Structure 1
Amino acid sequence: MARESEVKLTDTIRKALQDAVDDSRISNMDKMTFKNILNEEGCGQKTIPFKTVRNLSKALTTAGKKVYIHELLKGSDVHLPSVDIPKRSPELEARLERLRTEAANREYEQMVGSIVPKSSPLDFSIGEDVKAINRQMTAVFNFVITVVAAFMFGYKGSELLLGVSNVAQKLTYGLVLGMAVFFADLYFLVKHTK
């Protein structure tokens, strides 16, 4: 059963209780309740239920006296009932502890996941390294051969197709064609390299 809130019995509340007991317009049932509180107060009662203060305010207001609850409670303290928390079962405690441990482990793994490598440093393959070097060397060799071949085509092609005999003009045609192939090849090399 839930206990209700109680308030400290102050002189203001005592005086209002006495006024209610002395007033003839208040019902006998309410008078008996208020008289019992005043008699118990003599025995050392220091708190009364909040419901009684609310009933006292209603009774006095009905009798024609304007007494509000906040005026009665001025200088008083509210005593809230303590809540009885049931004890948890051992199975529940064990399960909660297991879940807390799992959550802490997941959080730790997430924090150090980017720091600690998944594989050991001794776990390497020479074959993969050789294949990677082979791919890079092939790309560089292809790059150099393509640019040199484009230069040679521009140099010799200008002589054969255009009839240019001046060495400076042949070098210019070769360099222009070589540079064009150089930048085109560089673009594709950078774009497709991982």
Structure 2
Amino acid sequence: MASAVRAGRRLRRAAEGGELAALPAGLQAELEAALASQGALVPFSLLRRLHTALREAGSPLYLHELLEGCEIDLPEVPVPPRQMNGTLAEFGRQVRSVKAVVITIFNFIVTVVTAFACTYLGSQYIFAETAARVLSAVIVASVVGLAELYVMVQTLEGDLGKL
């Protein structure tokens, strides 16, 4: 953030030419010291005091006239070094991996529940009792679940491809 201005010709001429003679001696000396410093940087705090002193003295000079040609001094912002660990590409790979696992688990649950529901509804034509229908649905859902687990294990080992 800027905290000083680089003095322009108008401010230097006013300080050297005696246009600011109505200022208190301490403020005038501080302004001359700032103008003589390297880069002629005048801090904003000094400009505020200068503005107040010009108002109190009833000077015909206005601060914006004195600041004509001045440049705001913006300090160099240090650029932090990039962190190579934890890049976005690595994060993307991790998200894809987690996404694949979540989809696989969701697929497993949907397959087992669907097998149970289809067997339960389809067995009403074979069994009259609810207990027999539920038992047959549990058996079929278990077989489908074991088959699905077998396929998942083979996939994770790499026999059927990567996730």
TM-score by length of 2: 0.47
Which structure has more relative contact order (CA 8 Å, sep 6+)? It is: 2
TM-score by length of 1: 0.41
